[in-house]
């Protein structure tokens, strides 16, 4: 899938500010790119995840949105993201190095 197609389908997890009942999991910034991840949890389990990010980079927004979907149901402190799975999801994109860079920014915000 192309990043632009993913964004057109709707960024389900993007928010403009901290949603009520959510806590900041972490944030990361690299150059002009910034992302903050928020979670809602029951016990130690993540039941929902949202993020805010700079709007300049569509790759960052799409990857952060997909990663938020992937961490739902995981335990705080034991978050596991498969880089290859995320990068392959956007297989129609040409700049794989940029995708990996944006994924690394999101992972830094998750503390992994």
Contact (Cβ atoms closer than 8 angstroms) between residue 40 and residue 4: no
* pLDDT bracket for residue 28 (50, 70, 90): very high
CA distance 2 to 18: 28
| pLDDT tops 90 at residue 21 | yes
| pLDDT tops 90 at residue 49 | yes
* pLDDT bracket for residue 56 (50, 70, 90): confident
Question: Which of 61, 49, 44 minimizes the C-alpha distance to 22?
Answer: 49
**DSSP for 70-102?**
HHTTPBTT-----HHHHHHHTTT-S-HHHHHHH
Chain-wide mean pLDDT for the chain?
Answer: 96
- Calculate mean pLDDT across residues 51-65: 94
- Calculate mean pLDDT across residues 80-105: 96
pTM score, two decimals? Answer: 0.95
Show me where the domains of the chain are located.
3-110
Q: Which fold has domain 3-110?
A: Sufe protein. Chain: A (3.90.1010)
What is the number of alpha carbons within 13 Å of residue 40 lying toward its C-beta?
11
Q: What is the CA radius of gyration of the chain?
A: 13
| pLDDT tops 90 at residue 51 | yes
What pLDDT, on a 0 to 100 scale, did the predictor assign at position 55?
A: 84
């Amino acid at each position: 899938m192309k990043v632009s197609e993913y964004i057109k389908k709707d960024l389900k997890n993007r928010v403009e500010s901290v949603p009520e009942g959510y806590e900041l999991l972490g944030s990361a910034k690299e150059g002009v790119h910034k992302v903050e991840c928020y979670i809602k949890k029951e016990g130690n389990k993540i039941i929902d995840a949202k993020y805010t990010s700079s709007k300049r980079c569509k790759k960052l927004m799409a990857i952060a949105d997909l990663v938020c979907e992937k961490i739902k149901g995981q335990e705080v402190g034991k978050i596991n993201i498969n880089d290859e799975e995320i990068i392959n999801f956007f297989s129609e994109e040409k700049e794989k190095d940029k995708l990996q860079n944006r994924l690394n920014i999101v992972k830094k915000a998750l503390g992994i």
